[in-house]
Amino acid sequence: MAAFGTVFIPEMAISWFDGNSWSPAEIVSSESIQLHPGAHVLHYSSTCFEGLKAFRHEDGSVNIFRMDRNIERFSQSSELLALPEIDKDATGKMIIDIVSRFKDDVPEPPGSMYIRPTHFGTEPAIGKAASPSVTSCQYILLSPVGDYFAGGDTTLRLLLEEDGARCAAHMGMIKSGGNYASALRPIMKAKEEFNADQVLFCPNGDVQETGAANFLLIDGNEVITKALDESFLHGVTRDSILTLARDLGMDVQERQLTIDELLERAAKPGCEAALSGTAAVLTPVGTLIHNGKDYPVGNGGIGATTLKLRQALNDIQWGKAEDKHGWLTRI
């Protein structure tokens, strides 16, 4: 099977901001876009994106999960990067239009259609290192994706990184390209030196998140994760899982979690940890690596509560459980 995110639907929705207004959205080929080599984004990383999914239900309908929440974050990322303001309704319409057009290409569960809105500064002005791009472009790119867990469920190994940071502290809540580039070297090093799958960034011992997913500790009836601040990405999956955990009567704690507390709790037999994000929903973490030593989380295997929470979310996405919180946009 093709790697996640490498297959694209041949057309996309696109709109350009000329400094005054957004052009009417168009459907164009997704093969290429034309940009001036001096475009602001290529020099000063004025770019942000979103990741959300559309799911096929048994009744033949296609349903987009938490579109409003993702558009809200897209708008906020654009604002924090000093990109032109997006028109949230117009972006929503672009998403619905392009997904509707390729409705037949939305895979059956456990597959889905991954939706990638992208917004970037296009102004040809290499002298603008310290000022924003006046013009920009947004497009909605689609990528059909298969079962993330097709190879069977495994657990992840996470390296706890206290010294480095994923990105600049004030950039953490922005879904912006530069943040991922800045995290690459520490992740590559962790893979090479510790056979880690991901780095769990813990600046000054404060457990934050990995390169592209949020971290949750599940200890019996307690779910513990960092409280929202501007230093990390506010995952929609994180919010959804916490909501479902509260619905199940679990004790959800959004607060600071130190490496010391994490390792202490992880040593208990029933403890679980997981990463949350749109691509994989909830992925079990089996091992934490700290100061060159491996620490299994609980028994190091796949946690039952992790699977239960993932299933509860999948059931809503796949139309098998009631959408009590109004998370689906049906098209």
Ligand X SMILES: *Cc1c(COP(=O)(O)O)cnc(C)c1O
Q: Which residues bind ligand X (CB under 6 A)?
A: 51, 175, 209, 212-214, 233, 235-238, 276-278
Q: Which is nearer to ligand X, 84 or 172 (CB)?
A: 172
Alpha carbon distances (Å) from 163 to 41, 92, 96, 187, 207:
29, 40, 43, 13, 12
- What's the min distance (Å) between Cβ of 244 and ligand X? 13
Q: Which is nearer to ligand X, 28 or 184 (CB)?
A: 184
Q: Which is nearer to ligand X, 11 or 68 (CB)?
A: 68
| Rounded-to-integer distance, Cα 181 and Cα 8, Å | 22
- What's the min distance (Å) between Cβ of 220 and ligand X? 24
At position 156, the amino acid (one-letter code) is L
Strand partners, 114: 53, 143
Contact by Cβ (8 Å): 218, 266: no
- What's the min distance (Å) between Cβ of 294 and ligand X? 24
Q: Which is nearer to ligand X, 16 or 311 (CB)?
A: 311
| Rounded-to-integer distance, Cα 154 and Cα 305, Å | 15
Q: Which is nearer to ligand X, 84 or 235 (CB)?
A: 235
- What's the min distance (Å) between Cβ of 142 and ligand X? 16
Q: What are phi and psi of 254, to 5 degrees?
A: -100, 105
Task: Look up tokens 């979690």; give the residue.
Answer: 257
| Rounded-to-integer distance, Cα 243 and Cα 260, Å | 27
- What's the min distance (Å) between Cβ of 285 and ligand X? 14
- What's the min distance (Å) between Cβ of 208 and ligand X? 9
H-only helix segments in 102-227: 177-194
DSSP-derived secondary structure for 239-270:
HHHHHHHHHTT-EEEES--BHHHHHHHHTSTT
Q: Which is nearer to ligand X, 135 or 278 (CB)?
A: 278
